[in-house]
Amino acid sequence: LDIAVARILSERLREGRGVGDMLDLLIAARDDDGVGLTPQEIRDEIVTFIVAGHETVASALAWAWLFLARHPEMQDQIAEESRAAHPWSRASIARVPFTRAVFDETMRLYPPAWVITRRSRDADVLPCEISIPAGALLIISPYLLHRHPDIWVDAEEFRPGRFLEPFERDAFIPFGAGPRLCIGRDFAYVEGVLMLAMLTHRFRVTPMSEGMPWADPQVTIRPHGGAPVRLAPR
């Protein structure tokens, strides 16, 4: 990754001609004093974006295909929505609410970022009377919150329709919350929802194994052994 990023960056800096992408924006960025980013800082931003932006969406989509393969009726619903939303663009997302609900429901059950960590600045006591010392490592698990039976009806069931009705927004945090909310969230919806709509428009997906694979909690939560499904043209 380092070698690839270094090569792209040095070529772009040498050529000095932009193609209008994010790397150009980083190279052109200046703070209030007119100071730009160093090559090391640009490299760090690029690596962060690749790491934060690639496997997260890939893992959400892998689980989504595994669910859809087991729900042909949902594939039909997505295909119908995506036909009506054609030609696709960023704006199509508003026209495919069920497809978006499938993406959300997948991230409810398998939030790619299954833990989020914080370091407490000061000591505090939570409303549930748990004391937190200063400097403690706090681990917040979207995975557990998203499956909490007091919050979600039939919490373990894959039911995208729940996202078409009012739901507990504070209990759905696949992209985190607060000032460090995922900066790529809107882009992730564009990628994820459009990919589901466009591929379901073209293919029928069937499972290649009986049960769902077990969840492998690495940096993201991935299906163990991948997501083997069979595609047939629609």
* Residue ranges in contact with ligand HEM by CB under 6 A: 48-49, 52-53, 56-57, 60, 112-113, 116, 174-176, 180, 182-184, 187-188
Least distance from ligand HEM to the Cβ atom of residue 185, Å: 7
- Residue closer to ligand HEM by CB (options 147, 204) is 147
* CB 149 to ligand HEM: min, Å: 23
Residue 179: Cβ-neighbour burial (10 angstroms; 0-12, 13-18, 19+): exposed
Least CB distance from residue 111 to ligand HEM, whole Å? Answer: 6
Q: Nearer Cβ to ligand HEM, position 56 or 200?
A: 56
144-159: burial string, b at 16+ Cβ within 10 Å, e else: ebbeeeeebeeeeebe
Q: Specify the residue, 174 or 212, whose C-beta has the smaller distance to ligand HEM.
A: 174
Which single residue is written with the structure tokens 């629609």? 234
Sole residue written with tokens 């039909």:
76
Residue 204 phi/psi, 5-degree rounding, is: -100, 140
Shortest separation between residue 219's beta carbon and ligand HEM, angstroms: 11
Task: Identify which of residues 37 and 204 has a Cβ nearer to ligand HEM in the complex.
Answer: 37
